[in-house]
Structure 1
Amino acid sequence: MSGSGPARRDRWARFVPAGYSGLLAAVIAGPLLGPGYLLLRDAVSTPRSYMTDSALGLGDAAARAVPQDALLAALSPFVDGGLIVKTILLVALWAAGYGAAVLAMELLRVSTGPQLVAVTVAMWNPYVAERLLQGHWSLLTGYAALPWTALAAYRIRTRRSITSGATSRRKPPTAEATEGSATVTAEHPKMRAPSGAAADQGTIIGTDCGKKSAFRSSAVGSWAALTGCFAVAGLTPTGALLAGCTAVVLVGRRNLLGTLALLLATSAPWLTATALSGAGSDPSDPAGIAAFAARAEPALGTLGALAGLGGIWNADSVPDSRTTPLALIATVLLLALVAIGIRTTAGIKTGVTRRRADDVESDIATTHSAQPDVATSRDDAACAGGIDRAALQVRRGLLVLAAFAVVLPAVGATSWGMSGMEWLVARMPGAGLLRDTQKYVALAMPAYVLCAAAGCRAIAVRCTANAAATSSRTPAMTLTATGLIALLMLPLFDVAWGVGGALRPVHYPVGWQRVAERIDGPGDVAVLPGGMFRQFPYSGKVAVLDPAPRMLPRDVLQTGELPVHGRTVAGEGARARKVENALLHGDSAQRLGELGVGWVLVERTTPGPLGESKTTLAQLDSVYADTQLALYRVPDATDHFKQSQSTHRVVAYAAHILWAGLLVGGLLLAAIVRPRPNR
């Protein structure tokens, strides 16, 4: 009976990080819990989307929103599209935090307090705030998948070493070697306990793991989890690259081929769309390199901003706190905590003994809480079993990945770095995916959360060691974790409630629905005024992407041109550019028909160039008009541009079905055949 209380507390402690992650997600995205739609810069959600060629990635522009647009088009006839986007965003925020806690628990064996610090670092940081303000809700799904991808890669690496009977050739560590050093687990089949007094001194380093079938089942679950992570991250091409880089670095050489095959399969929608449409086959505009380079922040410079998980190219997509000295304070606090924990994460020997660490870690929510913390030297790591070696290699791999994720974007923001990137994108098709280099700072997040968790534990250990009057062990960790969470959150106070209220739902005029109902004939849709960005009375002061492509049942032609810092970065929409020029120059309705245009939508309440479009509109049939929108039909329009794409659509559908199958199947199989944590 005496052990029932601690056991019950341990079981409940497992749910604390999940609940805390949900609380932070609600605090961050709180305004979106109400009715309405997300319409902020690049984020566009609508009540209903349609399975157009553009949604499949077969339009004129590059397939940047594939397969997210197809997913919304498939689900929005049954569930409101705005609700789908808000749900995905909230789940992504929650998954990022909870994944950080699980990763820290499994790779570092930390207790609840350090796990909560890891959750805070993963969710409450400039990267999340800036990408929310930029409207990159789908990119955050790739960000959220990173800790889970690292965890799946670790488990795959571990299972392979177990099933292959891998074991160290060195002698088992003695009690003196293990004190305050390597976490020695009891799952390696080749590790046998020494007899006699040596066993009583803690030199037992492993036991038989059971039947091989159990390991095979666990391996299936690990691969299924990696498949699900790839599919979730693959909601956008950049997310797929983030998860792919993480897995490739961590899974080990023997698992590399299978990992790459899974990555290609889950990336099939945008890879297929790029190959079929040809939009991504041409080099990108080199002007985009300077426009999207990482940006320096006050008193930090570019490298400091990136190291603090900030530095987005758009100064308007930055929380107000990052424009004040608070940016420096927040970055120093974060990096100090990371620096304290980096030695433990990297497995470098420290002076902390096993007994002292166990005193502080009494509240750990596993039956293996009495194990030492981490491998603390290369020799100790080599002496540990395959699982511990894998954990150490994964942790070190994440640290190396974090270093590259911070340094390379900083190099890319220098004059010679930008020159090199301009040369690359001008000659290599598809290299435009790399122009927003600050996106890839997300790769540093898994290492940061591990270092933060280890740093929290190290601080608590030191405080306990120096406080002779401290008799209770749990309060020391609780106070340390609470203090660190407060220090991390306060300098970034405006991350709360939709990043200072900027992330709020909007309500579309009823005219949008009426226009969509009246587009019932052939031909694509051209939109006036020219350009892709709008500023409606109901969308606030921030320019937003035109919702027409996701609101209307026909393809909406867009040039892909992006206005950035007073310059224009060219897009891939060659036919859309011809159509826009024809409208602005007042060309004939016949010319629009030749270009495959069947409809012209005029958005009356947003600024933008109209040119001589009145001349062209006078030749068209008026179908609908109100104070917000006006719709015109082009006489004798045809779908001759669509007829040659029937085969392409079949292939694109197949690629999307493959992705959806891997997404649902991977997540379900991972949930059914849950990999046992490597403890």
Structure 2
Amino acid sequence: MSGSGRDRAVAAGYSAVGSLVVTAPLLAPGYLLLRDAVSTPRSYPTDSALGLGDAAPRAVPQDALLAVLSAFIDGGLLVKAILVVALWAAAYGAAALARELLRASLGPQLVAATVALWNPYVAERLLQGHWSLLAGYAALPWTALAGYHLRSASTAKRRNRILSNAPAQPGSIAPQSTPGSAGHPGEAASAEYSGSPASADTVGSGWWLPVVTAARHASVGTISAWAALAGSLAAAGLTPTGALLAGATAFALVHRRQLPAALVLWLAASAPWLVATALSGAGAEPSDPAGIAAFAARGEPGLGTLGSSAGLGGIWNAEAVPDSRTTPLAAIGTLVLLVIVALGLRAVATGGADPDNRHVRRALLLLAAVAVLFPALGATAWGMSALEWLVAHVPGAGLLRDTQKYVALAMPAYALCAAAGCAVAARCLSNAPRRESADRPAGALPAVTSTVAVVFVALLALPLYDLAWGAGGAVRPVRYPAGWQQVADRIDGPGDVAVLPGGMFRKFRYSGTAPVLDPAPRMLPNDVLQTGELPVRGRTVSGEGTRAREVETLLLRGGSAAELARLGVGWVLVERTTPGPHGESAVTLARVEQVYEDADLALYRVPGVVERGRSTTAHRCVAAAAHVLWGAMLVAGPLAALGARARFRSRTRN
């Protein structure tokens, strides 16, 4: 194995070990059930799973993906596998980005991987249960790589086209492709074509062959880069916020003339939630302005909101943070991270003789600046006022209410700067002469670089020591009582399911102390009505739907079974072991048939249900087609990119 191949293998292995250290408790049997994360043994392709329910399609297409695949593979295993792979992909993607854009050696690559994996953003979103958002986060360095390769391939094709149209002159030199023009991850500068002054015979016969060969390789590189971008956007599109993050990265990096094609790819990758929003009409309703203050970024000890955002932390939920972030270690860890990033900032901003490389570096730095400032400004009084107006008047603007999510956009630039900072520190410590090219600084001794990398990794990881082992054991699998499967098996008729007690969050004896989303919507084969109301920071943020709220109100005031049936409710599930309001629902339940009961759950059938609220067959077909398109991109994108890369290597060898 070549030195470059060994470096890739070590970086991939390091990333895998780091991912497993973070998620180790999830390797045990059971299901992830923590705050917003709900995995179940089996879920179903209901209207809600397709995004066609009353609520806004925030869990699309992840719910549909699990509904389809859990018919063959345990749903809990699927969620855990996606999370582990996502964390690995984030770390290894950052290492690959440093290798491609900075020509970084192994030590700086591992520093970049550590920045991407071991940071407060990952810890806080893991504790909040945002496993699908972390998949979008993991796609960002790969999206940046695809954008860089697209720019490079486009530049190479344009140069080759100009050279192929130019008349051959005696003494001409065959063209050279630029680094990265092949457009393949890890194939930097592998397609160079150079020649000596052409002879008379060459001018008359084969002077143009290097041009044709370079053009063919550039075409293969373009195909590979577009396929890689399609796969990255689809992976990020597991959740709408992830799609926005990857889309912003792609649009900032590709050439202007590539923007229309990139937009088409983004729309295709986002088709499940865009189509669901259009068909259900839920997205046309404005969001509750109270959500802006409730979900505003939060300042951590000794940092303030801006310092927390700059340190990749500051989630709105003060309970979804590791213990270390509630102590002075938060300020120490943030200071260490920012110092390491600052060491490499100048090298990232000014380095790179290749214009495409330089553009990508600077665009990522600009995205990072916006990502840090946006949550901080959104937490100010005037910032919250502006966002409140936006969500109240612009449909779909509710996606912006959790502003701290967008700190993820800073990760690729932070990883690059940390890798460059490692190289800069090593060069200074080795006290070597500054013999450096525009793309690859030289002079640091390998042993010094390795030592600095080890120190940097330790400094980055130790202040956040409790990210290990599932954020200190908080992220662990749970076991559902057998009654859930019994309830699912007995729902064999029409009608939606109403759930008691009221509200969307539960505290079960088997789920720990943190509140969790009700697993019923993903556990049962019929649609479960939920109000979408979120209790946050002592206030309630309203959801978009109205029928679920009407049904809940009816149950809590002891309304008749006939009224429930008229509202399309065919079943009532009572979750007995979780606190919450029951009101006068006992009056209603006394008038309906009980079909199952145990210590945890009770299921009732409502007679004479009038089916309503279900989407039409046409709507379901359109939504399903959008999901199939997304799934095809998710699978075919990486396969096409790998196939094009293999063809490129074969042609290069031949």
TM-score of the alignment, normalized to the shorter chain, above 0.5: yes
Q: Give per-residue Cα distances to partners, 1:496-544, cap 9 Å, x unaligned.
A: 0000110000000000000000000000000000000000000011100
Q: Which residue among 361, 366, 372 is the counterpart of 1:406?
A: 372
Q: Which amino acid aligns with 1:244?
A: G
Count of paired positions: 606
Matched, 1:671 2:642: yes
Q: Is the 8 A contact 1:130 1:312 kept in 2?
A: yes
Q: Is the 8 A contact 1:188 1:209 kept in 2?
A: no
Matched, 1:645 2:616: yes
Matched, 1:478 2:444: no
Q: Which amino acid aligns with 1:271?
A: L
Q: Which residue among 378, 388, 396 is the counterpart of 1:422?
A: 388
Q: Which residue among 73, 76, 82 is the counterpart of 1:82?
A: 76
Matched, 1:286 2:307: no
Q: Counterpart of 2:239?
A: 236
Q: CA deviation at 1:663?
A: 1.1
Q: Is the 8 A contact 1:162 1:188 kept in 2?
A: no
SS of the aligned residue for 2:529 comes to coil
Q: Counterpart of 2:583?
A: 611
Matched, 1:59 2:53: yes
Q: Give per-residue Cα distances to partners, 1:523-571, cap 9 Å, x unaligned.
A: 0000000000000000011100000000000000000000001100000
Matched, 1:303 2:306: yes
Distance 2:355 2:28 in 1: 48
Q: Which residue among 130, 133, 154 is the counterpart of 2:127?
A: 133
Q: CA deviation at 1:302?
A: 0.3
Q: Counterpart of 2:338?
A: 335
Cα distance change of structure 1 residues 278 and 335 upon mapping to structure 2, 3 Å threshold: same
Matched, 1:247 2:256: no
SS of the aligned residue for 1:110 comes to coil
Q: Is the 8 A contact 1:188 1:208 kept in 2?
A: no
Q: Counterpart of 1:112?
A: 106
SS of the aligned residue for 1:38 comes to strand
Matched, 1:455 2:444: no
SS of the aligned residue for 2:159 comes to coil
Matched, 1:658 2:652: no
Distance 2:285 2:590 in 1: 36
Cα distance change of structure 1 residues 185 and 12 upon mapping to structure 2, 3 Å threshold: closer
Distance 1:463 1:166 in 2: 43
Q: Which amino acid aligns with 1:436?
A: D
Q: Which amino acid aligns with 2:605?
A: R
SS of the aligned residue for 1:29 comes to helix
Distance 2:81 2:419 in 1: 28
Q: Give per-residue Cα distances to partners, 1:59-116, cap 9 Å, x unaligned.
A: 0100000000000000001000000000000000000000000000000001000000
Q: Which residue among 547, 557, 579 is the counterpart of 1:585?
A: 557
Q: Counterpart of 1:517?
A: 489
Q: Is the 8 A contact 1:187 1:208 kept in 2?
A: no
Q: Counterpart of 2:222?
A: 219
Q: Is the 8 A contact 2:160 2:211 kept in 1?
A: no
**Structure 1 length normalisation: TM-score?**
0.87
Matched, 1:635 2:607: yes
Q: Counterpart of 2:167?
A: none
Q: Which residue among 100, 114, 124 is the counterpart of 2:94?
A: 100
Q: Which amino acid aligns with 1:64?
A: R
Distance 1:166 1:427 in 2: 50
Cα distance change of structure 1 residues 598 and 303 upon mapping to structure 2, 3 Å threshold: same
Cα distance change of structure 1 residues 166 and 640 upon mapping to structure 2, 3 Å threshold: same
Distance 2:470 2:639 in 1: 32
- The answer to which of 70-79 and 630-639 deviates more is 630-639
Distance 2:534 2:195 in 1: 63
Q: Which amino acid aligns with 1:126?
A: P
Distance 1:668 1:90 in 2: 21
Distance 1:313 1:246 in 2: 24
Q: CA deviation at 1:272?
A: 0.4
Q: Which residue among 1, 19, 22 is the counterpart of 1:28?
A: 22
Q: Is the 8 A contact 1:596 1:641 kept in 2?
A: yes
SS of the aligned residue for 2:645 comes to coil
Q: CA deviation at 1:466?
A: 7.0
Matched, 1:269 2:272: yes
Q: CA deviation at 1:208?
A: 6.3
Q: Is the 8 A contact 2:160 2:215 kept in 1?
A: no
Q: Which amino acid aligns with 2:483?
A: G
Q: Which amino acid aligns with 2:451?
A: L
Q: Which residue among 335, 354, 363 is the counterpart of 1:397?
A: 363
Q: CA deviation at 1:210?
A: 3.0
Distance 1:638 1:23 in 2: 54
Q: Is the 8 A contact 1:268 1:655 kept in 2?
A: yes
Distance 1:550 1:35 in 2: 19
Q: Which amino acid aligns with 2:558?
A: G
Q: Give per-residue Cα distances to partners, 1:243-275, cap 9 Å, x unaligned.
A: 000000001201100000100011100000000
Q: CA deviation at 1:336?
A: 0.3
CA RMSD of aligned residues (A): 2.1
Distance 1:640 1:317 in 2: 38
SS of the aligned residue for 2:594 comes to strand
Cα distance change of structure 1 residues 168 and 147 upon mapping to structure 2, 3 Å threshold: farther
Q: Counterpart of 1:312?
A: 315
Q: Which amino acid aligns with 1:344?
A: A
SS of the aligned residue for 2:312 comes to coil
Distance 1:473 1:411 in 2: 43
Q: Which amino acid aligns with 2:356?
A: A
Q: Counterpart of 2:202?
A: none
Q: Is the 8 A contact 2:502 2:582 kept in 1?
A: yes
Distance 2:86 2:28 in 1: 18
SS of the aligned residue for 2:570 comes to strand
Cα distance change of structure 1 residues 546 and 472 upon mapping to structure 2, 3 Å threshold: closer
Distance 2:102 2:420 in 1: 7
Distance 2:448 2:161 in 1: 38
Distance 1:99 1:458 in 2: 22
Matched, 1:259 2:245: no
Q: Counterpart of 2:570?
A: 598
Distance 1:412 1:80 in 2: 40
Cα distance change of structure 1 residues 168 and 337 upon mapping to structure 2, 3 Å threshold: farther
Q: Counterpart of 2:182?
A: none
SS of the aligned residue for 1:623 comes to strand
The gaps in structure 2 that reach 5 residues or longer are: 164-172, 174-187, 199-209, 434-442
Distance 2:623 2:612 in 1: 19
Distance 1:394 1:649 in 2: 40
